[in-house]
Structure 1
Amino acid sequence: MKWGIIATWRMAYEGIMGAAEDLSQGLSAKDALENTIKAVEDYPFYKSVGYGGLPNEQGIVELDAAYMDGDNFNIGAVAGIQDVKNPISVARKLSNNRFNSFLVGSGATAYAQKNNFERINMLTERAKKIWENRLEEMKNSNLSPYDGHDTVGAVCLDKNKSMVAGTSSSGLFMKKQGRVGDSPLSGSGFYVDSEIGGATATGLGEDLMKGCLSYEIVRLMGEGLSPQAAADKAVYEFHDKLAKRKGKAGAFSLVCMNNKGEWGVATNVEFSFVVATDKESPKIYLANKGEGHTTIIEEASQEWLDAYEERIKRPIQ
C-alpha cells in the first residue's frame, strides 16, 4: 500500500523522519501530519513557525494554522492565536465542528484555553532580540520592516488512501497587528481531496491569496496532470500574470502530492522541501525556477545543509 508525505522547507525534515516511520507502520495521515507540524512548531530555532517565531510590530507572536481532511473536506483554522503551544492541534480539533471552525484572535486563544491546549509564552529571548535589532535597523537605516514568511505546510497520504493537509506560521515578521496571510485560508495556503491529492503554499501571503494556487494545483491534478505538471502550470502562469499586472510577484513556493504518492514542486525563489514515500526515504531537496515554466530540483548538498544549520543557530548579537 502506498503512503507519502511532502512538506515545505528544510525545517520539516525531523518531523517527516518520524512521520515516515509511523506511516510505514500504518499510522493515519491525520496523526502523522499533526505530529510533523508540531515538531516544527516546538523547535525554537525555526523563526517563522510556532515557539521562537518572530513577532509582529508590537512584539507579540501571533500564530496562524490550518488543517484539512481530504476525505470529507472538513477544515479547521486559527489566525492571530497567542500563547498556544501547538496551533496545528487547535486547528485539527476545530475541523470537527460543523460551525465556528475558523477562529481568530482572542476568540481562537479563548477556545484553546477552554479546551485545555497547552499555553506557553511563545516569544523566546532569541526572537525578542531579533525584533529589537530590527527596530534599530529601521530607525537607523530606513530598512523595510518586513521579512520572513516561511510557512510549514504539509500534505500526507496514508495506507488507507486518506489524505490531509496542514499549515502553521507566525506570519510576516513585523506585520501589523491582526494581519493574516494565506496560510489558514482554504484554497490559498492549502487544499486537499483524497480522491485527487493536495497542495500547500509558502511565501508572501498577500500575493499568494491573489491566485488560490493550492486549489488550482489540485484541480489540475484532477484533470489528469501529474503533480509536477500541475504545480508548474499553476505557479508559473500565475507568476507571469501577477508580474504583468502588478509589475512584480512576491516569493511563493508550492508542494503537492497526488493520491498515488507522486509529488511535485514549483517556486519562483530558491526553496527547500522534504519528501518521504513508501519508495523514497526522507530527503531534503532544493528547487529553483528553471527556463520557461519548469522547475529545477536537486538533492540538497551536505555543504548546503551545514550552512543552513550554522545560519539558524548563529548567536544573535
Structure 2
Amino acid sequence: MKRRNFLKKASATGFGLVAVSSTLISCDEVISSEKKIVTPILQPVRPLVIATWNTPLAVETAAKILQNGGSALDAVEQGCRVEEANEKGQSVGKGGLPDRDGNVTLDACIMDDKGNYGAVLGVKNIMHVISVARKVMEDTPHVMLVAEGAEQFAVSKGFKRENLLTAASKKKWEKWKVKAAYKPIINIENHDTIGMLAIDAKGNISGACTTSGLAYKLAGRVGDSPIIGGGLFVDNEIGGASATGLGEEVLKTVGSFLIVELMRQGKSPQEACEEAIGRIVNKPGKDFKNFQVGYIAVNKQGETGAYSIHEWFSYNLFKEGENKNIKSDYFNKK
C-alpha cells in the first residue's frame, strides 16, 4: 500500500495523524535496524570451473569458452574432450587402460542447467564419448545408450571409429596378465575419471563426467561415472557435484545427488562433500583402506568444496581469473 493511501485510510478510520506519524517513524527505525544486522548475500562467482585431478588444460579450455560468453554446457563438454584425447592419462578416452580382456570401454554422462541428462556406457572404438552423451541428451528421447547400440548411434552422428588401445596401455595390460589378480587393485594415488562442473556468465550450472573405468575390470562392468546421481548431479537452483574413485562405493550412497541435497538443506559445498565421504567410511565393518573416493562440489553462489577418503586427491579450480591445482582435504589422516 502506498504511503499516501495508507495515511488517508488511517485518517478515515479515526486514527490521529500524530499517532500514524509516530507509527511510521517507528517502522522506519525497525527497518533501518534490520538492515544493519542482515548478513550480505554472497555475490555469485562467474565464470567458474572445477574439475577432478590435475587437469589444468581441460579447465583452461572450459574457462576460455566461458570468458568468451559460452555456455556452461559447452564448457564442460569441450573441457572433458581434452582429457579424452590425452593418451598419456590412461584413464579417460583414448589410451585408457582396458578391461581384463584387453578392450577399452568408455563411460560418460552430461547434465545441463535444465536438468536434462544424457549418458553412454561401455562404448568401444569412439574417443569422445562425452560428446556422444550430449547427442543422446539432445537428439534422442532417451537418457542412456549402452555398448554396441551407443557405438552405432555415435557413428550415425558422424563420430569415427578408432582403436583406443595404445601401445603404452597394451603393455601395462600384458604385464598385469602375468598374475591377473581377480580383485583389481585400486590406485589411490591417481585414479580415473574427469568430472567437471562450470558456472557461466548467466549463472547457469552444467556438469560432465567421462572415464575408461576401473583398469582390468570384468567385461561389462560399469561404475558411477555415467550414472545420474552417482558420478554427477546438477540442480541449477542449488549447485552440482561430481565423483571420482571406486564407483561401486559412490553408487551405494548415490554420492553426487546426496551432496546436492545436503547443499539444498543449507550445508556448504565443503560440508556436503565431507558428509558424503562419511556415509561411505562410517558404515559398520567398512574397510576403506584399499580404495579411494573423492568429491568436488559447487553451489549457486560459486562456493566450492572437495573431500576424499585418502590423501593424494587434487582438483583444478578456475575462479576469479586464476587456474589452480589444489590438494583436497581428506578423511584418513591416521
Counterpart pick for 1:8 among 42, 48, 52: 52
In structure 2, the partner of 1:76 is 118
In structure 1, the partner of 2:16 is none
1:248-267 matches, within 5 Å, as 248=288, 250-267=291-308
In structure 1, the partner of 2:241 is 199
Q: Deviations over 1:250-279 (max 9, x none)?
A: 3100001111211000100220110002x2
In structure 2, the partner of 1:50 is 93
Runs of 4+ in 1 over 3 A off after TM superposition: 142-149, 245-250
3-state secondary structure, aligned to 2:192: coil
Q: Give the counterpart letter for 2:207 in structure 1.
A: A
TM-score by length of 1: 0.85
* Alignment: residue pair count: 284
1:23-62 matches, within 5 Å, as 23-62=66-105
Q: Which segment drifts farther, 91-100 or 25-34?
A: 91-100
Q: What is the distance in 2 between the residues matched to 1:110 and 1:290?
A: 43
1:204-223 matches, within 5 Å, as 204-223=246-265
In structure 2, the partner of 1:281 is 322
Please state how far the C-alpha of 1:144 moved relative to its aligned partner.
4.7
In structure 2, the partner of 1:163 is 205
Q: What is the distance in 2 between the residues matched to 1:233 and 1:183?
A: 20
Whether the 8 Å contact between 1:134 and 1:145 is mirrored in structure 2 is no
Q: What is the distance in 2 between the residues matched to 1:64 and 1:52?
A: 14
Whether the 8 Å contact between 1:66 and 1:183 is mirrored in structure 2 is yes
Whether the 8 Å contact between 2:310 and 2:332 is mirrored in structure 1 is no
Please state how far the C-alpha of 1:172 moved relative to its aligned partner.
0.7
RMSD: 1.8
Q: What is the distance in 2 between the residues matched to 1:18 and 1:192?
A: 21
Q: Deviations over 1:58-115 (max 9, x none)?
A: 100000000011x221110000001112000000111125632201111111110111
Q: What is the distance in 1 between the residues matched to 2:329 and 2:182?
A: 27
In structure 2, the partner of 1:150 is 192
Unaligned ranges ≥5, structure 1: 293-317
Whether the 8 Å contact between 1:146 and 1:174 is mirrored in structure 2 is no
Provide the identity percentage: 38
Counterpart pick for 1:225 among 257, 267, 274: 267
Q: What is the distance in 1 between the residues matched to 2:265 and 2:179?
A: 49
Unaligned ranges ≥5, structure 2: 1-44
Q: Which segment drifts farther, 213-222 or 230-239?
A: 230-239
Please state how far the C-alpha of 1:291 moved relative to its aligned partner.
7.8
Q: Which segment drifts farther, 105-114 or 24-33?
A: 24-33
Please state how far the C-alpha of 1:245 moved relative to its aligned partner.
4.3
Q: Deviations over 1:182-227 (max 9, x none)?
A: 1011111100011110000001111111001100111111122111
Q: What is the distance in 1 between the residues matched to 2:133 and 2:285?
A: 35
Q: Are 1:187 and 2:200 an aligned pair?
A: no
Q: Deviations over 1:141-200 (max 9, x none)?
A: x68544454111011110111111111110011111111001011111100011110000
Q: Deviations over 1:25-54 (max 9, x none)?
A: 211111111111000000100011101100
* Residues 194/106 of structure 1: CA separation in 2 closer, same or farther (3 Å cut): same
Please state how far the C-alpha of 1:290 moved relative to its aligned partner.
4.9
Whether the 8 Å contact between 2:98 and 2:173 is mirrored in structure 1 is yes
Q: Give the counterpart letter for 1:234 in structure 2.
A: A
3-state secondary structure, aligned to 1:93: helix
Q: Give the counterpart letter for 1:29 in structure 2.
A: A
Q: What is the distance in 1 between the residues matched to 2:208 and 2:192?
A: 14
Q: What is the distance in 2 between the residues matched to 1:245 and 1:190?
A: 27
Question: Which of the two has higher C-alpha Rg?
Answer: 2
Q: What is the distance in 2 between the residues matched to 1:78 and 1:58?
A: 20
Whether the 8 Å contact between 2:65 and 2:74 is mirrored in structure 1 is no
Please state how far the C-alpha of 1:231 moved relative to its aligned partner.
1.2
Q: What is the distance in 2 between the residues matched to 1:143 and 1:237?
A: 27
Q: Deviations over 1:116-156 (max 9, x none)?
A: 11321111011101100111243xxx685444541110111
3-state secondary structure, aligned to 1:215: helix
Whether the 8 Å contact between 1:217 and 1:234 is mirrored in structure 2 is yes
* Residues 220/143 of structure 1: CA separation in 2 closer, same or farther (3 Å cut): closer
